[in-house]
């Protein structure tokens, strides 16, 4: 099958969050399946252009029309990708190549990604690559299914489009004038993109794509409710017939306690007791916690953003520290009120709380390895990857049963049997505290049960092999329609 994947970020070239991780592993997993030909299209950001590790050659260049604008686009092929995926970058200095700084958040993001989406479709034409399936991701490439229908239908009449939602919070809103000024689509597409007199490109993709997916089954259902959908609930409920959830995997090659170069001791499911003990002692030392083997170490690696459930953690942190023998370690940056909360907590409980307000992938790995309990009380979570990383390193998750957290962490009983972690159902601090206490009770009073749980966590297959097959199944379904 010929598959074209389009996204605004993809590791290792450029990554701001989970989308970047998925765009590293999913194309690769699809390319490993016999008979697939996979191309990945990304913007040629300055950070990629300036990086000597990513040598490219120009395949061709062409003009892209956006309303009255004619903009240059260079099509660059990456020379050194080894896994069968052909990576192309869309080059344009004005929109991407000459802009330093973060990849999102410019005043003209709407125009930049409209350009990118249209350039991707043009590029396929110049390459004479007629895909069976186009898979595009989040609002930045949401215009692809709309443009395809409006302008490229003759060339790609057999091509099916899948639009994948990684986070419904960011929908690509623009003022109503954007429709004529930048998109200049035929008038009959106005309804598809219009929401309350403004343009919403994610809505356009949901209506125009042949299939809409999101990154877990539970989130696919949640998206049809106002609490989760940030205004798109009725649009998504109308699209229920073509809405599916596929739970992400993680990169089990990178996240592997047997080989991870960042951690001080290597271990697997049979040797984790000694391996994790060595990692824990080194970690406590590194971040300034008391080096105590039998004090449970509660950890969290996260953006310090409200929807990650930090308000609940702030509410229960002191109770936990007063009532339980435990240590807390947080790694991440984000909203100032959370940064200062954890800094103050660390000052108040020296040796028991450590706040690492920074972004550090090596330390993140050492935390997955050295922690005992991983906290993830997110208010909502499309999929979530770090709970899977934690389990792979034998760290027991305590999660709010929502979205992908609910799908990847089935609840264990109080003896640590049957599930993979501890969960709470309703989003409030007391329920979170109660599930933390159940987990701590197991750690203190039934260490064998706790270790059974760690063992089962480490034995799960979180690789991309299974999700990649699910994507293939849906691709085949689309082609039969
Ligand atoms: C977004 C979601 C996260 C998901 C990731 C990859 O970052 O917030 O839950 O795991 O995308 O799909």
Share of the chain above pLDDT 70, in %: 100
Atom of ligand 1 nearest to the CA of 385: 10
Q: What is the pLDDT of residues 83-111, one digit of tens each?
A: 999 999 999 999 999 999 999 999 999 99
Q: How far is the CA of 300 from the centre of ligand 1 (A)?
A: 16
Atom of ligand 1 nearest to the CA of 21: 6
Q: What is the pLDDT of residues 172-184, one digit of tens each?
A: 999 999 999 999 9
Mean residue pLDDT of the chain comes to: 97
Q: How far is the CA of 19 from the centre of ligand 1 (A)?
A: 6
Contacts (Cβ under 8 Å, ≥6 apart) of 95: 43, 71, 108, 111, 112, 115, 116
Q: For residue 289, what pLDDT band results from cuts at 50, 70 and 90?
A: very high
User: DSSP label at 288?
Assistant: T
Q: How far is the CA of 376 from the centre of ligand 1 (A)?
A: 13
| Site to substitute for ligand 1 among 168, 170, 385, 402, most atoms within 8 A of C-beta | 385
Atom of ligand 1 nearest to the CA of 382: 9
User: 176-186 burial, b for 16+ CB within 10 Å, e for fewer?
Assistant: eebbeebbebe
Query: Are 71 and 83 within 8 A, CB to CB?
Result: no
Q: What is the mean pLDDT of residues 227-239?
A: 97
| Site to substitute for ligand 1 among 23, 135, 139, 248, most atoms within 8 A of C-beta | 248
Q: How far is the CA of 380 from the centre of ligand 1 (A)?
A: 10
Which residue do the tokens 């590790």 mark? 53
Atom of ligand 1 nearest to the CA of 166: 11
What is the C-alpha to C-alpha distance for residues 75 and 58, in angstroms, rounded to an integer? 6
Residue 251, H or E segment: none
Q: How far is Cα of residue 88 from the mean position of the Cα atoms in its chain? A: 21
Strands 85-91 and 211-214: unpaired
Report the nearest-CA residue for atom 10 of ligand 1. Answer: 384
Strands 56-66 and 69-78: antiparallel
Contacts (Cβ under 8 Å, ≥6 apart) of 136: 5, 6, 7, 117, 142, 144, 145, 161, 162, 163, 164, 205, 209
Q: Is 290 helix (H, G, I), strand (E, B) or coil?
A: coil
Q: How far is the CA of 3 from the centre of ligand 1 (A)?
A: 22
Q: How far is the CA of 322 from the centre of ligand 1 (A)?
A: 34
Report the nearest-CA residue for atom 12 of ligand 1. Answer: 166
Q: How far is the CA of 262 from the centre of ligand 1 (A)?
A: 24
| Site to substitute for ligand 1 among 104, 163, 166, most atoms within 8 A of C-beta | 166
Atom of ligand 1 nearest to the CA of 219: 9
Q: How far is the CA of 18 from the centre of ligand 1 (A)?
A: 5
| Site to substitute for ligand 1 among 7, 19, 138, most atoms within 8 A of C-beta | 19
- pLDDT, residue 143, reads 98
Q: What is the pLDDT of residues 329-344, one digit of tens each?
A: 999 999 999 999 999 9
The total of other beta-carbon atoms located within 10 Å of residue 158's CB is 8
Q: What is the pLDDT of residues 12-52, one digit of tens each?
A: 999 998 999 999 999 999 999 999 999 999 999 999 999 99
Q: How far is the CA of 167 from the centre of ligand 1 (A)?
A: 6
Report the nearest-CA residue for atom 6 of ligand 1. Answer: 18
Q: How far is Cα of residue 219 from the mean position of the Cα atoms in its chain? A: 13
pLDDT at 481 over 80: no
- pLDDT, residue 376, reads 98
Ligand 1 pocket, Cβ-based, cut-off 6 angstroms: 17-19, 22, 166-167, 215, 248, 381-385, 404
- pLDDT, residue 33, reads 98
Report the nearest-CA residue for atom 5 of ligand 1. Answer: 18
Phi, psi at residue 220, to the nearest 5°? -60, -40
Tokens of 35: 């008979």
Query: Are 79 and 57 within 8 A, CB to CB?
Result: yes
What is the C-alpha to C-alpha distance for residues 158 and 131, in angstroms, rounded to an integer? 8
């Amino acid at each position: 099958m010929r598959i074209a994947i389009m996204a605004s970020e993809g590791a290792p070239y450029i990554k701001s969050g989970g989308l970047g991780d998925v765009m590293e592993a999913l194309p690769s997993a699809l390319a490993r399946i016999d008979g697939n030909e996979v191309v990945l299209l990304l913007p040629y950001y300055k950070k990629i252009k300036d990086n000597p590790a990513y040598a490219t050659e120009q395949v061709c260049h062409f003009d892209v029309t956006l309303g009255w604008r004619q903009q240059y686009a260079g099509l660059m092929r990456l020379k050194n990708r080894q896994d069968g995926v052909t990576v192309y970058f869309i080059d344009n200095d004005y929109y991407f190549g000459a802009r330093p700084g973060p990849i999102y958040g410019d005043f003209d993001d709407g125009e930049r990604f409209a350009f990118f989406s249209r350039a991707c479709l043009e590029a396929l034409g110049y390459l004479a690559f007629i895909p069976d399936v186009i898979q595009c991701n989040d609002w930045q490439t949401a215009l692809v299914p709309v443009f395809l229908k409006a302008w490229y239908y003759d060339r790609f009449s057999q091509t099916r489009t899948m639009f994948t939602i990684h986070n419904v919070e960011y929908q690509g809103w623009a003022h109503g004038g954007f429709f004529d000024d930048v998109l200049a689509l035929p008038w009959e597409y106005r309804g598809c993109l219009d929401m309350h007199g403004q343009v919403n490109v994610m809505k356009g993709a949901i209506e125009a794509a042949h299939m809409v997916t999101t990154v877990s089954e539970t989130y696919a259902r949640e998206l049809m409710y106002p609490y989760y959908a940030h205004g798109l609930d009725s649009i998504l409920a109308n699209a229920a017939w073509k809405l599916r959830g596929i739970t992400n995997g993680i990169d089990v090659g990178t996240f592997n306690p047997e080989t991870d170069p960042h951690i001080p001791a290597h271990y697997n499911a049979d040797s984790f007791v000694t391996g994790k003990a060595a990692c824990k002692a080194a970690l406590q030392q590194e971040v300034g916690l008391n080096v105590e083997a039998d004090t449970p170490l509660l950890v969290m690696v996260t953006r310090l953003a409200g929807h990650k459930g930090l308000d609940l953690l702030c509410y229960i942190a002191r109770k936990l520290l007063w009532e339980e023998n435990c240590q807390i370690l947080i790694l991440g940056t984000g909203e100032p009120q959370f940064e200062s909360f954890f800094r103050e907590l660390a000052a108040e409980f020296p040796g028991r709380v450590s706040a690492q307000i920074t972004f550090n992938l090596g330390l993140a790995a050492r935390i997955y390895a050295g922690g005992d309990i991983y906290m993830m009380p997110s208010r909502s979570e499309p999929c979530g990857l770090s709970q899977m990383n934690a389990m792979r390193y034998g760290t027991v998750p305590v999660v709010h049963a929502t979205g992908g957290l609910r799908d990847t962490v089935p609840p264990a009983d109080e003896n640590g049997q049957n599930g993979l972690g501890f969960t709470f159902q309703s989003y409030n601090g007391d329920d979170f505290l109660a599930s933390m206490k159940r987990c701590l009770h197991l750690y203190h009073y039934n260490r064998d049960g706790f270790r059974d749980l760690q063992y089962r966590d480490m034995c799960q297959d979180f690789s991309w092999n299974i999700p990649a097959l699910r994507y293939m199944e849906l691709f085949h379904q689309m082609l039969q329609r």
